[in-house]
């Protein structure tokens, strides 16, 4: 077992090393950030001095090694734009995105699951058809378009809700959150709704599919024959059985929601990670781009690693290799 774990960790390390190299060279290929950062009036000598000061005149392999050495010491460099350590910058943006993603996924689950169960339970009813139509729409209509329409309707035409930005934050366990105040919530509502539509459609479908399958099983037929009330069947059998895949998907989706927030955050000017990466792409803030990508890759590699190890712990047959 120990050998297996060590092997897997080494594998993950190699993957990370390759990823960092790919990311670094890729970002390097986009262009020299100083071409857009140095002020236009700067004469040649100042341009060269600045380029040298940031080590951008060195050959790429040297820059990469230097970067790698620093990362090993926990230093991802400093943002060209914000003049702060990239790690600090990224961590400062994390709560906003977490809050948004959590609100979206929770909302989608709480609304989507009951609707889905109903649609699966009475698949031919008009309401069920409406629900399914809604879910198709939720799947199909691109997030950015919904976001635009939401702003246009609720912020511009009706003026009920703010068009963007995050409300005032309150420190809770040392982390700033905005959901504690009414104003914070009003800022959160539209972006969370926007982000949740896709998830909502998915939750509806999952719950419906699960319910339909379970309703057709013998267990439910016997329960019905035994005279157990429909409400009890739904609660005892259906909800219990579909909750397992839903919780799994909830977990998985939460991760992808963090990344998908890119679009929503851009439209609603939500000061989260997604906005940060888009901004750093459009301003060629190389250190932020590289660090963000590498950290995201590290996150997913770690998740995969943990999953592998826990599977192996549960099932010794897997230790020889992944393929059965």
Site for another protein in 12-71 (CB under 8 A): 15, 26-27, 29-47, 49-50, 54
Question: Distance from CA of residue 140 to its chain's centroid?
Answer: 19
* Cα gap 85→77, rounded to integer Å: 6
Q: Does residue 220 touch another protein according to CB under 8 A?
A: no
Cα 124 → chain centroid = 35
Give me the residue label for tokens 């009003």: 186
Nearer to another protein, 59 or 159 (CB): 159
**Is there binding between residue 7 and another protein (CB under 8 A)?**
no
Interaction between residue 142 and another protein (CB under 8 A)? yes
Bridge partners (DSSP) of residue 170 are 177
Pattern 267-306, binding to another protein, x per CB under 8 A? xxx-x---xxxxx-xxxx--------x--xx--xx-xx--
* Distance in Å, CB of 319 to another protein, minimum: 13
Nearest approach, Cβ of 107 to another protein (angstroms)?
19
Query: Which of 252, 306, 311, 316 is in the footprint of another protein by CB under 8 A?
Result: 252
Q: Confirm if 202 and 140 have CB atoms less than 8 A apart.
A: no
Give the shortest CB-39-to-another protein separation in angstroms: 4
Give the number of other Cβ atoms within 10 Å of residue 132's Cβ. 19
Q: Could you give the CA distance from residue 111 to residue 315 in angstroms, rounded to a whole number? A: 36
Residue 91 sits in the site that holds another protein (CB under 8 A) = no
What are φ and ψ of residue 66, in 5° steps? -60, -45
Binding to another protein in span 230-249, by CB under 8 A = none
């Amino acid at each position: 077992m120990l050998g297996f774990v060590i092997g897997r960790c080494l594998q993950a390390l190699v993957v990370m090393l390759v990823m960092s190299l790919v990311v670094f060279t890729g970002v390097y290929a986009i262009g020299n950030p100083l071409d857009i950062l140095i002020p236009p009036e700067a004469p040649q000598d100042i341009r060269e001095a600045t380029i040298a000061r940031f080590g951008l005149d060195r050959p790429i392999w040297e820059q990469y090694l230097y970067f790698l050495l620093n990362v090993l010491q926990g230093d991802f460099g400093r943002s060209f734009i914000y003049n702060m350590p990239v790690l600090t910058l990224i961590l400062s943006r994390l709560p906003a995105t977490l809050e948004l993603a959590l609100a979206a996924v929770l909302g989608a689950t709480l609304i989507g699951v009951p609707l889905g169960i109903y649609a699966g339970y009475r698949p031919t009813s008009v309401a069920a058809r409406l629900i399914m139509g809604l879910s198709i729409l939720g799947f199909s209509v691109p997030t950015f378009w919904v976001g635009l329409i939401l702003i246009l309707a609720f912020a511009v035409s009706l003026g009920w809700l703010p068009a963007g930005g995050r409300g005032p934050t309150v420190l809770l366990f040392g982390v700033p959150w905005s959901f504690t105040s009414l104003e914070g919530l009003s800022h959160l509502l539209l972006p969370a709704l926007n982000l949740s539509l896709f998830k909502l459609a998915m939750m509806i479908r999952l719950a419906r599919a699960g319910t339909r399958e379970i309703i057709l099983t013998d267990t439910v037929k016997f329960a019905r024959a035994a005279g157990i009330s429909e409400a009890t069947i739904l609660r005892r059998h259906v909800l219990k059985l579909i909750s397992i895949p839903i919780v799994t998907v909830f977990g998985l989706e939460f991760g992808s929601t963090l990344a998908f927030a890119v679009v929503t955050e851009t439209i609603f000017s939500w000061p989260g990670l997604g906005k940060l990466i888009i901004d750093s792409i459009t301003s060629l803030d190389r250190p932020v781009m590289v660090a963000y990508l590498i950290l995201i890759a590290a996150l997913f590699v770690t998740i995969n690693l943990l999953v592998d190890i826990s599977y192996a712990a549960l099932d010794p047959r897997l230790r020889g290799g992944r393929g059965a």
